[in-house]
Amino acid sequence: MSDLTRVGFVGLGDIGKPMALRLVERQEELGLEVVVFDLAPQPVEELVAAGAKAATSVAGLTSCDVVSIQVNTDGQVRSVVGDLLAALGEGEHPAIAIHSTVAPETPAELEVDASAHGASLVDAPVSGGAMGAAAGTLAIMVGGTDEAFDRVRPVMAAMATKVVHAGPIGAGTRFKLARNLMHYTAYAAATEAQRLAEAAGLDIVALGDVVRHTDAITGGPGAIMHRDSTEPLEPGSFWYKAFEHLRQLSGKDLTQAIALAEEVGVDVPLARLALERLAPGLGYRD
């Protein structure tokens, strides 16, 4: 019997393909055998050329130890998991890792189905995009039991530099949704800043370059995310003092940015909302 860990991978799109390629590139080092499936033939051919094996259907992955799923929609995830579970034979008990971002209730529902077939299931969405997938520097947020997490962790670690056991089933998905809420809200704020800068006669390409440069230094929005609670701050506490400069500076700068926006005729609703809510969001009650 082979000592190799057999890993199936379903969904070879913009993120799934480089994730699978990372596994293939590390097969010999980590003792893996990677088997891939996708409805599109070209990415499958690319993975086979790189050293993977190809399955002709999802049912061809039932003998795998771990099956990673990175397809587009909640419905596709449910379909792949259903097809895989329906094809399991005696003694086949894979650990299924759902990398797609799905509805909050989907992982727990699918875990019930998986358990009924003797399989384990985790939700393991990723953050870092196609670039992180290609470099093997993704963050993977895993929801599931300790046992299920232990089963998938070595495979996840082959594709990521940060693997977090977020909690029980569904916690990985909730982690990803919270992370992306910040991600896309920040994008919306960036478009607001671009409109303000453009109306003020500035080079918005240069502005973007400055933003990326300084975010790489300061950590961007994540720089304030060190507290273990969102409870109100107690006056005199460490974080009350630590955020005091930020509270004062943000109030001054947002007020001035809004004044500039009024001068040049640009609507900046997110800036106004930030002026109203940032200090209370940090935990200040006064």
Residue 103 has pLDDT above 70, yes or no: yes
Question: Is residue 162 annotated as part of the catalytic site, yes or no?
Answer: no
Residue 285's CB: how many other CB atoms inside 10 A?
A: 9
203-282 topology per CATH: N-(1-d-carboxylethyl)-l-norvaline Dehydrogenase; domain 2 (1.10.1040)
The answer to whether the beta carbons of residues 158 and 32 sit under 8 Å apart is yes
Q: What is the pLDDT of residue 4?
A: 87
* Ranges of each domain in the chain: 5-169, 203-282
In sequence order, which ranges of 51-170 are alpha helices (DSSP H)? 74-87, 106-116, 129-135, 146-157
CA-to-CA separations, 129 to 108, 166, 283, in angstroms, rounded: 25, 19, 31
5-169 topology per CATH: Rossmann fold (3.40.50)
**Mean pLDDT, rounded, of the chain:** 96
The answer to whether the beta carbons of residues 83 and 114 sit under 8 Å apart is no
Residue 154's CB: how many other CB atoms inside 10 A?
A: 16
- Structure confidence by residue, pLDDT tens digits, 139-169: 999 999 999 999 999 999 999 999 999 999 9
Q: What is the pLDDT of residue 205?
A: 97
Q: What is the pLDDT of residue 228?
A: 93
Query: What percent of the chain is modeled with pLDDT above 90?
Result: 98
The answer to whether the beta carbons of residues 44 and 37 sit under 8 Å apart is yes
Q: What is the pLDDT of residue 285?
A: 92
Q: Please pick, among 53, 176, 241, 252, the residue that the annotation labels catalytic.
A: 176
CA–CA gap between residue 55 and residue 162 (Å, rounded): 29
Q: What is the mean pLDDT of residues 275-279?
A: 96
Q: What's the pTM? A: 0.91
Q: What is the pLDDT of residue 3?
A: 78
- Structure confidence by residue, pLDDT tens digits, 68-95: 999 999 999 999 999 999 999 999 999 9
Q: What is the pLDDT of residue 1?
A: 34
Could you identify the residue written with the tokens 């990521």? 160
CA–CA gap between residue 189 and residue 281 (Å, rounded): 17
